[in-house]
Structure 1
Amino acid sequence: MRPAAGGAVGKPGAGKLVDCPATPSKPPVTNGLPDVSLACLGDGPDIRLADLRGPLVINVWAQWCGPCREEAPYLAALAKSGKVKMLGIDYDDPRPELAVRFAGDEGLRYPHLVDQDKAIQRPLKVGGPPLTVFVDANGAVAYVHRGVLTSQQQLDQLLKDKLGVTR
């Protein structure tokens, strides 16, 4: 297991965020998430992405990203539905305290990780945020949506088409 990218940072207000859960170690899967561990933006342990299984939606965002703010209500609504597991990754963000505030203000009630060092850039081909990853029950990346989600209907359709989940 590789060391956490980003490391521990002072995160005022982190108690307002959903804690990162402990995840059991699992072998990496073909076409799965990268074998990278990231620190929790709120409270909780580092999470190794390769351990995660779905159905799961991972949203890569940053508090300085305008399109991330535009799509946040759709992600918040999906999280509230409880139909899939969700995870946020605060990407290449120099101000974790503002990221904590953004996630809290937008009602993003799911765990968030920190990737200040861009550890996921190459394996997930991140050009920049926002980026949304759909992970199936076996842990394989079913689809990567690059760019902003423009409507709740678009997100719901992607869930149905890529993960077989209806909201």
Structure 2
Amino acid sequence: MFRQIILAAAVLVLAACSPDKAAAPEEAATSFITANVPPPATATDTKGDGVLRDADNRPYGYALLGEKFPEFTATMADGQAFDSAVLNRWMVIDIWGIWCGDCMRDAPYVAALATAIEQDPDLYFLSIHVPANASRTTPEELYGKYGSVEAYFTEKGYSYPTVLDTDMSIREKLKISWTPSYLLISPDGVIRAFRTDLSVAGGEPVKDFLKDVARVKSEVRKAEFGGAPLPAGIGPDGTMGLKGPTPFTLDAMKAAFPGHEILTDRAYVGEQAYPVFLIQTLPADRQAGHLVYVVEPDWTLGNVGSVVTRNTDVAGPDGGKVGQMKLKALSPEARSLCKFETDAVDALFVCPDSAENPRFIRAFGAGGDFDGKLSDAAPDYQEEAVLLEMKYLPPAPADDQ
């Protein structure tokens, strides 16, 4: 009787991974999918949870496919705090568990996948370690003989960023019905693709998976950020398609900067954070996109407050570019408006286009061979200060009426 109870418990633990019977290849739920489609007639709801599965209990679809990645906070295996709000880049997420036999069979492929993704500046990797179910959350049940994820990585000789779900809460938020599961997240936080085990994929699992990822990224970017890029310029009249009062929204950014990828991020003033949009060129040939503009909100967070560039390819109103134009290129009248400012990073001459209601500001700094204070430098040396930054300040909506 005792032996039978032990075997029954083992079956319950492995049920979330795989039973003994293997599904026929044409019926197996092992595809990389970007949309939920009707499953084959052989699919059954084997667990009574409304999820249609193949003969190995793998799901044919994923409930959150096409939806926003859920928000949650947690602790990572290395003790750092994690907030899902930081997932604002293309990212592959592996949901797994040390307790899961299928996950352990996938482990060599995951290690290779994480290593390959490290070489791609436009893609990131994250794993989430989850329990089998809500009643199996003790350290022994979660980590087995290893005692922790960190100890597991130490023995295996590799590691990657791992979020810990110790109470089933994250697994429930993510609606994970099978481990291992792989998700592809786009910078706007949408779950773009899903698949189960790599070890049963056939072919070259890691290479084929990354090809699928690249295809989805290309399709999403074409749909989301398509169109011919406008000339990269900035001045008192605006920049690209952002001219005049503009809502601080993703849709407005897409309209203003066609042919560019729009990323969300946070900037800080002291300890206070505020949202920004990063406007960058689309990646090509496994090269990361280049940052072109940073768009900051006004104090209401409802409209654009400024557009800043330090990109050396962006031309100002007179053709001057960052890293090339010098302060002496400004007219005497324009130089008379410049003010010397210092902060923790730069010593700058800040030169607005107007003393009362500026719409365009240039910031010039000392050359690399200057180790003193610009304010102490001779006037002729000050004029050698190099352009470091350009900023467009759109009028507030009320000012434009």
Give the alignment partner of residue 38 of structure 1, picking from 56, 71, 74.
Answer: 74
The one-letter code matched in structure 2 to 1:131 is: S
Larger Rg: 2
Aligned to 2:212: 158
Between the aligned partners of 1:162 and 1:94, the Cα distance in structure 2 is 38
For the Cα contact (< 8 Å) 1:55–1:137, is it kept in 2? yes
Cα pair distance change 1:154/1:71, threshold 3 Å: farther
For the Cα contact (< 8 Å) 1:32–1:50, is it kept in 2? no
Please report the RMSD computed on the Cα atoms of aligned residues, expressed in angstroms.
Answer: 2.5
Structure 1 position 64 matched with structure 2 position 81:
no
CA shift, 1:78, in A, is: 2.2
Cα pair distance change 1:103/1:131, threshold 3 Å: farther
For the Cα contact (< 8 Å) 1:134–1:143, is it kept in 2? yes
Structure 1 position 55 matched with structure 2 position 99:
no
Structure 1 position 149 matched with structure 2 position 149:
no
Q: Deviations over 1:126-156 (max 9, x none)?
A: 11321111111222111122x3112223422
The range that moved more, 95-104 or 70-79, is 95-104
For the Cα contact (< 8 Å) 1:130–1:148, is it kept in 2? yes
TM-score by length of 2: 0.31
The one-letter code matched in structure 2 to 1:63 is: I
Between the aligned partners of 1:60 and 1:77, the Cα distance in structure 2 is 16
Give the alignment partner of residue 88 of structure 1, picking from 127, 132, 137.
Answer: 127
For the Cα contact (< 8 Å) 1:79–1:108, is it kept in 2? no
For the Cα contact (< 8 Å) 1:56–1:136, is it kept in 2? yes
Between the aligned partners of 2:130 and 2:98, the Cα distance in structure 1 is 9
Q: Deviations over 1:37-88 (max 9, x none)?
A: 11111132x2121331221111111111111112122221222221221111
The one-letter code matched in structure 1 to 2:72 is: V
For the Cα contact (< 8 Å) 2:130–2:171, is it kept in 1? no
Structure 1 position 76 matched with structure 2 position 111:
yes
CA shift, 1:108, in A, is: 4.6
Cα pair distance change 1:106/1:136, threshold 3 Å: farther
Aligned to 1:109: 159
Aligned to 1:6: none
The one-letter code matched in structure 2 to 1:103 is: F
Between the aligned partners of 1:55 and 1:103, the Cα distance in structure 2 is 24
For the Cα contact (< 8 Å) 1:131–1:148, is it kept in 2? yes
Aligned to 1:99: 149
CA shift, 1:124, in A, is: 2.1
CA shift, 1:100, in A, is: 2.4
For the Cα contact (< 8 Å) 1:38–1:115, is it kept in 2? yes
Structure 1 position 126 matched with structure 2 position 170:
no
Aligned length: 136
The one-letter code matched in structure 1 to 2:170 is: I
Cα pair distance change 1:102/1:158, threshold 3 Å: farther
Unaligned runs of 5+ in 1: 1-29
Between the aligned partners of 1:141 and 1:34, the Cα distance in structure 2 is 10
Cα pair distance change 1:56/1:116, threshold 3 Å: same
Aligned to 2:187: 137
For the Cα contact (< 8 Å) 1:91–1:118, is it kept in 2? yes
For the Cα contact (< 8 Å) 1:36–1:119, is it kept in 2? no
Cα pair distance change 1:55/1:63, threshold 3 Å: same
Cα pair distance change 1:139/1:107, threshold 3 Å: farther
CA shift, 1:31, in A, is: 2.6
Between the aligned partners of 2:216 and 2:158, the Cα distance in structure 1 is 22
Unaligned runs of 5+ in 2: 1-65, 132-136, 200-204, 219-282, 287-401
Aligned-residue identity in percent: 23
Between the aligned partners of 1:130 and 1:64, the Cα distance in structure 2 is 11
